[in-house]
Amino acid sequence: MTAAPFSLRRWLTAGAAAAALLVQAATPAQAAEPLKFKWGAPSGDYYPLYVALELGLFKKHGLDPEFFWFPSGAPLLAGLKSGDIDVFTTGLATVFALGQKIPLTFIGWEINDAAAAGLVVDPKTGIADFRQIAKAKAIGAPSGTCAQVSLALLARKAGVPYSSLNVVNIPPPLYANAFKGGSIDAGLAWAPYAQALAEQGYKVASWDTEYTAPTGVCPVLTGGRPAFLKEHPEVGAKLVAVRAEALAAIAKNPQLAVDALAKRLSISPAVARDVYNRTSGAQMPTFEQQLAEDSPYSLTSKKDGLAGKLYLAGTLLHEAGSIPAPLTWEQVQQSIDPSYIRAHLQQAKP
């Protein structure tokens, strides 16, 4: 039998196919594209979030959030209600949302904003501390936020009816111009605006912890729409993992947090440092504290911890006329889901 004639073209084709198979076998499977979603948050002192962004931790964990920043938490409610916002980080606008029957799931604390919030006044008012709040002619406090709840607690402790106060519904990022223009002479401000106003010559007459509970009533929470979290059950776990890495990086180098605050919020390094000092350490809720029933940061307690703070805030916002009815315990408890943190800690065990 005569052998088939040698074909250079056939040899090259076969060789190319074999090489392609070898390359394919040697190359790992292509990584899935990062999950894109929309994240809403007000401008605030959320340095674990900012550090996570600076270090590229979201992309590392397969997430690609598009951020939308608001002057306060209240404006992002429209996005949550319409479904345009999937994940959020905000303060007591969460209560405002629940009061409007917008379903939310809280994954965990971002920061305890009450630790760095306070009553800021124009020195010309002569207000020495919160007990003299009646001297203020116009007080800045945006509706449905930590500032309004703080003012309600302040008024209670000062023995002044909330209804007797002239409250102006503007967010802290606009306080500086409002003070200069004379439209307010006092305001309840969260960080970094309390500190930035003090740097400009205004006075922090009292800090939140002077007229609220020791840990305050301004839990800044990260969470999402229940429908989104159900559709993407891996997201909650990844958000906890990102936060854990960001906090570990900050523990090794606190300057990361200071620099991120200064950059993201366009504030001075001195203001950024003060904000970090007031909200870090014992004031930063740990994962373990969030699972402990006897902790002020608890996600597991039915009536204390986070549930108690949200319930109280709902009562105060209703009394102030910001929500039509106070929150029920069922509304509050159904919105808190500690399972993501619990799973993270169990996975982290050696």
Model confidence pLDDT, tens digit, residues 127-180? 999 999 999 999 999 998 899 999 999 999 999 999 999 999 999 999 999 999
* % the chain with pLDDT above 90: 78
pLDDT of residue 26: 40
pLDDT of residue 106: 97
Could you give the C-alpha distances from 31 to 59, 205, 225, in angstroms and in order?
A: 12, 54, 26
Q: How far apart are CA 297 and CA 82, in angstroms?
A: 30
What's the pLDDT score for residue 249?
Answer: 98
Residue 59 has pLDDT above 90, yes or no: yes
pLDDT band at 332 (very low <50, low <70, confident <90, very high): very high
Q: According to the model, what pLDDT value does residue 31 have?
A: 59
Separation CA 324–CA 159 (nearest Å): 24
Strand partners, 108: 222
Is the Cβ–Cβ distance between 107 and 341 less than 8 Å?
yes
pLDDT at 263 over 90: yes
Of the candidates 280, 130, 251, 104, the residue with the CA atom closest to the CA atom of residue 191: 280
Q: Which of the four pLDDT bands, split at 50, 70 and 90, describes residue 28?
A: very low
Least confident of 4-18, 123-137, 182-196, 222-236: 4-18
Q: How big is the CA angle at 144 (ends 142 and 146), to the nearest 5 degrees?
A: 75
Confidence of residue 2 (pLDDT cuts 50, 70, 90): very low
Q: Are strands 118-121 and 203-207 parallel, antiparallel or unpaired?
A: antiparallel
Measured between alpha carbons, how far is residue 212 from residues 32, 140, 217, 318 in Å? 47, 18, 7, 18
Q: Residue 70 pLDDT > 70, yes or no?
A: yes
pLDDT over 90 at 126, yes or no: yes
Residue 316 has pLDDT above 60, yes or no: yes
Catalogue all structural domains in the chain, each as residue range(s) with its CATH number: 35-113+219-254+285-348 (3.40.190.10), 116-210 (3.40.190.10)
Residue 132: CB atoms within 10 Å: 18
Q: What is the per-residue burial (b if ≥16 Cβ within 10 Å, else e) of 13-51?
A: eeeeeeeeeeeeeeeeeeeeeebebbbbbbbbbbbbbbb
**Model confidence band, residue 5 (pLDDT cutoffs 50, 70, 90):** very low
* Position 10 confidence tier, pLDDT thresholds 50, 70, 90: very low
Mean pLDDT of 76-99: 89
Split at pLDDT 50, 70, 90, the class of 72 is confident
pLDDT confidence tier of residue 9, bands split at 50, 70 and 90: very low
The residues near 247 (Cβ < 8 Å, ≥ 6 apart) are: 48, 284
Q: What percentage of the chain carries pLDDT values higher than 70? A: 91
Mean pLDDT score of the chain: 89
Q: What is the pTM of this model?
A: 0.86
What is the pairing mode between strands 105-112 and 219-224? antiparallel
Residue 105's closest CA among 332, 296, 319, 342? Answer: 332
- In this prediction, residue 41 has a pLDDT band, given cuts at 50, 70 and 90, of very high
Q: Are 39 and 52 in contact (CB under 8 A)?
A: no
pLDDT (0 to 100) of residue 24: 43
| Measured distance CA(147)–CA(141) in Å, rounded | 5
Structure tokens at 346: 């169990």
Among 28-32, 45-49, 227-231, the least confident range: 28-32
- Does residue 74 have a pLDDT over 90? no
